[in-house]
Chains A and B, each alone.
Chain A
Amino acid sequence: MIKEKNIKLIFISLSLILILLIFFLPFFWIITSSFKNPEEIIATSTTIIPRSFTLEHYYKILFYSDFFIYLKNSLIVSFFSMFISIILSVSAAYGLHKLKFYGNKFVEYSLLVTYAFPGVILLVPIYLLFAKLNLLNSYFSLIIVNVLFASPFAVWMLKAFFKLIPNEIEEAAYIDGASRYIVISRIIVPLASPGIASVAIFCFIISWTEYLFASILISGDDLKTLPVGLAGIVGQYQIDWGFLLSGAVLASLPVIILFVFIGKYFVSGLTEGAVK
């Protein structure tokens, strides 16, 4: 008994160290490096505890780059993608898990497959379709694609939350003469609000981080999103690391702030659907 406990303790300690080193240290190093002066960043003798402190990289990116244009584009695209995804996925999840209809299992599995399916396979066809419809170079083209990527998994996430709402509450409301609209807006949505919050953050993240389609469907500089703007710096022959690092930190900040507030719903929402 004692021996097994020790083995377990050693396993836990070792994996804790491994997790800290691999999954948390990089963030610490990148964030502190974004405040180092250029010489220290590219020095061959790498420093873990910074020796210098400067805000010049942030100054440069905030005042001498297109950062705010990209930020504005990313915010617009992500917000509208999130909004449309929530409406479509809440409606679909209600139909799938509260109404039960002929073919609902088929729809449920198809949604799961479509979540993983799109990506690069659809790149060429969608590009051609949007070219025909004159949608290239518009926010709308990215919103259409992001909703496609985010909604199927959002429905999957909502499943657990919808199943937790007892049918009796709904039935009681109907007996009292409530309409479908009242039931959804006064009962279902408030009770599923933690689920809807987690779906919202998921959809926002999917849209915020999307790179592939944003890099192909948008060619105008004034419409580019943050990931595409950042990738432009990565691709340069001579990388200005300080500039790039501060850009990376700033581009991650909005999702991190969002996560600080509703992150705990997100983590539970993300994982419930797979188990239930």
Chain B
Amino acid sequence: MKKNNIEGWLFVSPLVLWIFLIIIIPIYIAFELSLFNIKIIGTSGKFVGIDNYIKLFGKSKFLNASLNSLYWIIGNAVCQTFFAFIIALTINYKFPGKKIMANWIILAFIIPTVVVVVIWKLMLSSSSGIINSVLVDLGILNEATGFFSSPNKAFITLIFINSWRWSPFLALIILSGLNSINREMYDASRVDGANFIQQFIFITFPNLKNVLFVLGLVGTLLSFNIFDIIWLITKGGPSNATSTIPLLIYETAFTKFRISQAATLSIITSFMLLLFSIIFIKSMAPKEDD
């Protein structure tokens, strides 16, 4: 079909404008704020230039949150990839009830995050949670443990809960990628004597490149953005162990009311994520055929 410039832009423009206005204007406001020293909304503060930025890099809380965010992204990537591939490879196999499972596995993804929090808070409760009770009955634990009591345990448990919510969604995307692979390739490799692990490494994985590109990009950004699961369960504790950058921004703005600092944080983070996206797209984007 021939290019249709004016009409094409006309159809795209309502959405593009909507997004542009609601992302660019606020980011501009935030940038302006980050150059001032404003504490309470509505009051005018002193112009301090890039002072907020310089100060930020000296703050141990910022360093701590950055590291936590990095661990959070890596931990979630590993855990979600693991669960997602298990789900996808299993559902790809024929068994009774496959259809029902393929449809309803997404349940964890369509319920409100708050409900996810409620489910796992009770499941993991140290006094009446089913997990503790089963682990003690099986003799794996001597006594009920608090899954959110120590920094490491809390961090790992939160990664698990977040992966529980997101893996089914990723699994379905991987699954449709699996379905698009030509079956003849498997038959041919079988004739050549490949086992199913070799098939996975040399056929399945390379053929999912397109899918994995989207998941790598969108997944990283979405993991980074996770706020409600962490906030509603640990509030960033114990001793800031689960405080990632989104939590730091929220706290700075809405419990400490340091608006300029929060704006500075937002600007730096947007810049870092934009940089990541550009590098990721430039280096990993699959070649277009059409």
Residue B185, interface by CB 8 Å:
no
Which of A16, A26, A101, A155 is B3 in contact with, Cβ under 8 Å? A101
Residue ID in chain A nearest B129 by CB atoms: A46
Q: A202-239 toward B: CB 8 Å interface, digit per residue (1/0)?
A: 00010011011000100000000011001100110000
The stretch that binds A, out of B45-53, B87-95, B147-155, is B87-95
Say whether, besides A8-B196, A99-B8, A102-B3, A144 and B22 are in contact (CB < 8 Å).
Answer: yes
Closest to B33 in A: A128
Whether the Cβ atoms of B173 and A244 lie closer than 8 Å is: no
Chain B residue with minimal CB distance to A229? B114
In the complex, B140 has a CB within 8 A of chain A? no
Q: How far is the CB of A42 from chain B (nearest CB, A)?
A: 5
Q: Is A137 interfacial (CB-CB < 8 Å)?
A: no
Report yes or no: A116 in contact with B217, Cβ–Cβ below 8 A. Answer: yes
B245 / chain A contacts, CB cutoff of 8 Å? 120
* Contact-residue bracket for chain A: 35 or more
In contact, B218 and A125 (Cβ under 8 angstroms): no
Which residues from A are CB-within-8-Å of B254? 216
Q: B1–A119 contact, CB under 8 A?
A: no
**A247 — which chain B residues lie within 8 A by C-beta?**
118
Partner of B41, one of A22, A115, A131: A131
When distances are taken between beta carbons in the complex, the residues of chain B under 8 Å from A122 are: 22-23, 26-27, 266
In the complex, identify which listed stretch (A53-61, A90-98, A189-197) lies at the interface while the others stay far away. Answer: A90-98
A154 CB → nearest B CB, Å: 9
CA distance A152 to B277 in the complex (A): 16
CA distance A116 to B216 in the complex (A): 11
Answer whether residue A142 sits at the interface, using C-beta atoms and an 8 A cutoff.
Answer: no
Question: With an 8 A cutoff between CB atoms, is A186 at the interface?
Answer: no
Q: Is the CB of A23 within 8 A of B8?
A: no
Interface pair B218/A123, CB less than 8 Å apart: no
Please give 19 more A-B residue pairs, beta carbons under 8 A apart, in addition to A101-B4, A117-B23: A7-B196, A19-B105, A27-B119, A89-B15, A96-B8, A114-B19, A117-B277, A119-B246, A120-B227, A121-B225, A125-B263, A128-B259, A129-B29, A145-B22, A211-B113, A227-B114, A251-B111, A255-B110, A274-B176
Residues of B in contact with A (beta carbons under 8 Å apart): 1-12, 14-16, 18-19, 22-23, 25-27, 29-30, 33, 41-42, 83, 86-87, 89-90, 93, 95, 101-108, 110-115, 117-123, 127-130, 133-134, 144, 164, 168-169, 172-173, 175-177, 180, 195-196, 210-211, 214-215, 217-218, 220-222, 225, 227-228, 232, 245-246, 249-250, 253-254, 259, 262-263, 266, 269-270, 273-274, 277, 281, 285, 288
